[in-house]
Every structure is written in structure tokens, then in C-alpha cells.
């Protein structure tokens, strides 16, 4: 097979299929790295998804893996994986999207990276992110903006925007990301791929700031549900260095996704009762949710009571920024972007009464969500309240005629689920009239990833959108 044909075939293959080829000895990790290097050279200049490459390190790791018997190379068997540029990979730059750290090189890998590599993942790149992951539009002063491949005049969302674009354009088969207010789900929705926020503790991580910091979690991104489940299996596991980490489940998540188990009753909500949503987004997501009725699933309009979400998230997010970034405000304020300064200052100005109230609100919302899932197996709603917006807009200022109070409020439909401690994913469910992707958020009760993946896999089959990516970047229409 000609080199170009091989690149095209492998670029379009699913991660599960590529791993099968690795295990069968039909292809090597080194050959996959060659494919990726060629694909990145061909398309990344148009979208700016993977600004940091570490192919020398990756090839060293691949050669070490290849010295092991095929059955001892881990779940990923040598599959290359990019890591979000907020987290340490030994010997590789970790800029965090900030001029402060633009030349920083990590001395030790984060636990999540160690886990992926121990399970046969080969790290070859760092994916672009906004500064410190703040804001759901991927741009920073170090590398610039990441562009949406469906229309390069549009945002890829964030903060795992580089990872989503790498997947959508065939520069990755699987990708790592993180999520606080939708940072796995928002870019997945905007880029037509799948991104999942797992339950608290499902993926171990290096502790930063506090032992119980859990608004942010690590999670997988992929082009389809089975591939997503494969990476989730490779990311899970109990680590003593993260006391909240959970052991891997007895039944692998990939097996759960393939189980064929279907939900009996699901709820759909156009807005969770807390946010405006673009009319076209409502229409597309509702039609997608109602398709579950084709499989005999009861679909009803309902949602748990999440009315405190905006106030609660504003306080707890600000507190998180104060705990983890106050030192930078004191020492390097001149190099921080306005949104980061605003977040840190909001946190430093909190009173103990505000924190007490927010924590109580989160407990109440989680309790209501748990009660809600005694009636419904899954909750479905839009993953984002708008379709991909112009890249020059730093954030969404208004939706459906209503102006937002701050630059993160447009993310409420995602961060409300964060606060309720539920696992959730964004599944491609359709397109706008102009051809931009729309994601359906699918939510399960805490630690309900298995049922979530099975339900998402079933709906993915019904909608017939699997294989819509990868694509070549598409410039805006004339």
C-alpha cells in the first residue's frame, strides 16, 4: 500500500480498530507516529491544535514498548495520545497557555500521564488550551487561537479545544482533556466528537491546591463512544497519591458500551430550567433525544431542580482559582489575562458565608439529582447553549435575546451537571442549517458511567453520525 493511502486509511480508522491492528502485529507504534507526523504537517497549520510536539520522546517510548511481548503492552498497545497543555509530561514543555510558563519544561509527569503511558499510550504532543484553562474559547498569548475545523472562522470552544480539533481533523485517535465547567463537553459539542466528564475520583490525578479539589476532573475524548470507553478504561485506576481515586470497575467500560443495555426511561430538558438556549440548538437536540423512542425508550420532558447553579458555581470556581493561582496574581499579575485576574480576585474577595452557602447549595443540588435518577435512567439536554461562535469573540455575551452577567454564565448547562457530581458526555447529534456540529449532553447518576456509555452507544447507532469525523479543515464560505 502506498504511503499516502496508508495515512488516509489509518487516519480514518477508529481507535479500537487501530489497537486491534497493534495487538495483531499488523502495524507498529512507530508507524502510527509517522502517520501522525505527516497528518499534523498537512493540516495543523490551518487549525493550530497541537502546538507542542514531542516525537523524539514518543519514538523512544514506542521502541521500549515494542521490546515487550504484544500481550504486555497495555490496553492501548502503543496507541499515540496527546495531553492537554495544562499538565506535566516529563521532559516536555508545559506552558499552561501562559507567558509565565512559556519555556517551562516538566521534570516529572502528572499521575494521569503516568497512568496512560503505563497502559500503553504513547504521548506525542500537547494540545492547545486557553491560559490556565480559563474560558471556553481556546486561545492564549503563547500559541494563539485554535480554529474550528468545520469552519475556521469559528471557535472550537474550550478549554480542551486543541484536543477536540486534533480528533476532528485526524491528528489523534484519542485525546486527554479536563473538565470543570464543560471543558471536555463544550469543545466536543463544537467539533463534532465525543467528550466525557467522568465521576469524581474515576481518573486519578496529581493533587494541586487541596486534597478534595473536585470541580475539575480528567477525562477522555474520542470520535465515537466505543473509542471513548477504551480510553476511559486506560485512564482509570486507584492511586495512593490521590486518596479520592476509585479502583477500576470489574466490568471494563468498553464492555459496558458494547453491552447493548438500553435505558428504560430518559428525561429531556431544553435548558435545565436555568439558561437561555439558541432555538436551533433546542430543535436539533430535542429531535435527537426523541429518537430514543424508536428503540422503545420512554422519553419525557423533565429535569432536576438546579436553580442555584449559577450562584454556586461562581463562588466555588472563584475559590478554586484563588487557592491555585493567588501566588501568580501577587508575583506575575502583568502577565495574566484579564479573565484570569478577575477569577482570582473574585475568589480572594469571598467571605466564609458565601463559601458556606455555595457548598450547601451543591449538596442540595446533588441530592435532588440523585433523587431524580431514581425515576430516570439518563438526563438529556443540549451540551452547549449555542452553536460555534466567531473566533474573535472571547466568549458568548448573550443568547436568545438575554445578556449574560459574566463571561462564564453561558456555560451553565454544563457546569450545573458538574455541581451535581454526575458523569456526562457530549454526543454529536446533528448540525445547524449552516453545517456546524451540535452536541447532546447525556447525564447519568454519580458513578453511572457504564449505563451512560451503553445509552450513548445505542443513540449513536440510531442517529447514524458515527464516522462524520475526521475532516480536513474547512475555511468559511465565500
- Which one of the listed residues 84, 126, 282, 337 is annotated catalytic? 84
Q: Is the pLDDT of residue 283 over 60?
A: yes
Q: Is the pLDDT of residue 206 over 90?
A: yes
One DSSP character per residue, 172-185 reads -SEEEEEESSSTTH
Strand-pair partners of 440: 382, 427
Q: Which residues of 134-171 are buried (b: 16+ CB within 10 A; e: fewer)?
A: bbbbbbbebbebbbbbbbbebbbbbbbbbbbbbbbbbb
- Which one of the listed residues 127, 183, 245, 269 is annotated catalytic? 183
Q: What is the pLDDT of residue 30?
A: 98
pLDDT band for position 1 (cuts 50, 70, 90): low
Q: What is the pLDDT of residue 477?
A: 80
Strand-pair partners of 127: 84
Task: Supply 108's cell numbers.
Answer: 516529572
One DSSP character per residue, 405-443 reads SSTTGGGHHHHHHHHTT--EEEEEEEE-TTS-EEEEEEE
pLDDT band for position 431 (cuts 50, 70, 90): very high
User: Is 64 contained in some domain?
Assistant: yes
Rounded CA separation 355/17 (Å): 48
Rounded CA separation 61/196 (Å): 27
Rounded CA separation 443/266 (Å): 10
Q: What is the pLDDT of residue 478?
A: 57
Mean pLDDT on 161-168: 98
User: Is 201 contained in some domain?
Assistant: yes
Q: What is the pLDDT of residues 112-139, one digit of tens each?
A: 999 999 999 999 999 999 999 998 999 9
Q: H/E element holding 266?
A: strand 265-268
Rounded CA separation 439/212 (Å): 30
Q: What is the pLDDT of residue 2?
A: 65
Question: How many residues comprise the chain?
Answer: 478
Can 248 be counted among the known catalytic residues? Answer: no
User: Is 363 contained in some domain?
Assistant: no
Please tell me whether residue 155 adopts helix, strand or coil conformation.
strand
Mean pLDDT on 25-38: 97
Mean pLDDT on 321-350: 92
pTM of the model as a whole: 0.97
How many CB atoms lie under 10 A from the CB of residue 92?
22
Task: Supply 200's cell numbers.
Answer: 469524581
Strand-pair partners of 177: 219
User: Is 477 contained in some domain?
Assistant: no
Pick the closest to residue 376 from 477, 438, 292, 271 (CA basis). 292
Beta-strand ranges (E) seen in 69-153 are 80-84, 122-127, 139-140, 144-145
User: Is 349 contained in some domain?
Assistant: no
User: Which residue has cell 490496553?
Assistant: 75
Rounded CA separation 415/385 (Å): 12
Q: What is the pLDDT of residue 153?
A: 98
User: Is 97 contained in some domain?
Assistant: yes
* 355 CB-contact burial (10 Å; exposed 0-12 / middle 13-18 / buried 19+): middle
Q: Report percent pLDDT > 90 for the chain.
A: 94
Pick the closest to residue 249 from 257, 223, 183 (CA basis). 257
Q: Which domain holds residue 89?
A: 3-302+370-403+413-463
User: Is 334 contained in some domain?
Assistant: no
Rounded CA separation 128/159 (Å): 8
Q: What is the pLDDT of residues 313-329, one digit of tens each?
A: 999 999 999 999 999 99
Strand-pair partners of 195: 221, 426
Q: What is the pLDDT of residue 16?
A: 98
Pick the closest to residue 115 from 171, 74, 68 (CA basis). 74
Mean pLDDT on 148-167: 98
Can 287 be counted among the known catalytic residues? Answer: no
* Domain count for the chain: 1
Rounded CA separation 116/75 (Å): 9
Identify the CATH number of the domain in which residue 34 sits: 3.90.1300.10
> What average pLDDT does the chain have?
96
Q: What is the pLDDT of residue 6?
A: 76
User: Is 330 contained in some domain?
Assistant: no
Rounded CA separation 331/352 (Å): 25
Mean pLDDT on 240-265: 97
The answer to whether 92 touches 54, Cβ cutoff 8 Å, is yes
The answer to whether 457 touches 226, Cβ cutoff 8 Å, is yes
Rounded CA separation 377/320 (Å): 31
- Which one of the listed residues 109, 159, 245, 269 is annotated catalytic? 159
Q: Is the pLDDT of residue 177 over 60?
A: yes
Strand-pair partners of 56: none
Rounded CA separation 59/63 (Å): 6
Q: What is the pLDDT of residues 289-311, one digit of tens each?
A: 999 999 999 999 999 999 999 99
Can 84 be counted among the known catalytic residues? Answer: yes
Mean pLDDT on 9-27: 97
Strand-pair partners of 86: none
Amino acid at each position: 500500500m502506498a504511503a499516502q493511502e496508508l495515512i488516509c486509511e489509518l487516519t480514518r480508522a477508529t481507535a479500537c480498530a487501530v489497537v486491534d491492528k497493534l495487538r495483531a502485529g499488523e502495524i507498529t507504534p512507530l508507524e502510527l507516529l509517522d502517520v501522525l507526523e505527516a497528518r499534523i504537517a498537512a493540516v495543523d497549520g490551518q487549525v493550530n491544535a497541537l502546538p507542542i510536539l514531542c516525537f523524539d520522546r514518543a519514538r523512544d517510548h514506542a521502541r521500549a514498548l515494542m521490546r515487550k511481548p504484544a500481550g504486555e503492552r497495555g490496553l492501548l498497545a502503543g496507541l499515540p495520545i496527546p495531553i492537554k497543555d495544562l499538565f506535566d509530561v516529563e521532559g516536555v514543555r508545559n506552558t499552561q497557555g501562559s507567558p509565565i510558563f512559556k519555556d517551562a519544561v516538566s521534570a516529572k509527569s502528572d499521575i494521569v500521564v503516568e497512568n496512560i503511558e503505563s497502559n500503553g499510550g504513547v504521548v506525542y504532543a500537547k494540545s492547545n488550551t486557553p491560559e490556565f484553562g480559563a474560558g471556553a474559547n481556546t486561545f492564549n498569548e503563547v500559541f494563539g487561537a485554535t480554529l474550528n475545523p468545520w469552519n475556521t472562522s469559528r471557535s472550537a470552544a474550550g478549554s480542551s479545544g486543541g484536543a477536540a480539533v486534533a480528533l476532528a481533523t485526524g491528528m489523534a485517535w484519542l485525546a486527554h482533556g479536563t473538565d470543570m465547567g464543560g471543558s471536555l463537553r463544550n469543545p466536543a459539542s463544537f467539533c463534532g466528537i465525543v467528550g466525557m466528564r467522568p465521576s469524581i475520583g474515576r481518573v486519578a490525578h496529581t493533587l494541586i491546591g487541596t486534597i478534595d479539589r473536585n470541580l475539575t476532573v480528567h477525562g477522555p475524548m474520542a470520535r465515537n463512544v466505543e473509542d471513548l470507553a477504551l480510553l476511559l478504561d486506560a485512564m482509570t485506576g486507584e492511586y495512593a497519591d490521590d486518596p479520592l481515586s476509585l479502583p477500576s470497575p470489574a466490568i471494563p467500560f468498553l464492555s459496558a458500551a458494547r453491552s447493548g443495555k438500553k435505558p428504560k426511561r430518559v428525561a429531556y430538558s431544553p435548558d435545565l430550567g436555568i439558561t437561555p438556549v439558541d432555538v436551533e440548538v433546542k430543535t436539533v437536540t430535542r429531535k435527537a433525544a426523541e429518537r430514543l423512542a424508536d428503540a422503545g425508550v420512554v422519553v419525557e420532558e423533565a429535569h432536576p431542580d438546579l436553580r442555584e447553579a449559577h450562584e454556586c458555581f461562581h463562588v466555588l470556581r472563584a475559590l478554586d482559582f484563588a487557592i491555585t493561582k493567588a501566588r501568580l496574581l501577587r508575583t506575575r499579575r502583568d502577565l495574566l489575562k484579564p479573565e484570569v485576574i478577575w477569577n482570582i480576585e473574585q475568589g480572594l474577595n469571598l467571605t466564609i458565608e458565601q463559601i458556606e452557602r455555595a457548598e450547601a447549595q451543591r449538596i442540595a443540588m446533588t441530592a435532588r439529582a440523585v433523587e431524580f435518577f431514581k425515576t430516570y435512567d439518563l438526563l438529556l439536554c443540549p451540551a452547549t447553549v449555542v452553536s460555534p461562535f466567531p473566533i474573535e469573540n472571547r466568549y458568548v455575551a448573550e443568547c436568545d435575546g438575554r445578556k449574560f452577567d459574566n463571561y462564564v454564565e453561558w456555560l451553565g448547562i454544563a457546569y450545573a451537571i458538574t455541581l451535581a457530581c454526575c458523569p456526562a458526555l457530549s454526543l454529536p447529534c446533528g448540525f445547524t442549517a449552516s453545517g456546524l456540529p451540535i452536541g447532546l449532553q447525556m447525564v447519568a447518576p454519580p458513578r453511572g458511567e457504564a449505563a451512560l456509555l451503553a445509552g450513548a452507544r445505542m443513540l449513536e447507532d440510531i442517529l447514524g453520525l458515527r464516522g462524520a469525523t475526521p475532516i480536513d479543515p474547512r475555511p468559511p464560505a465565500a
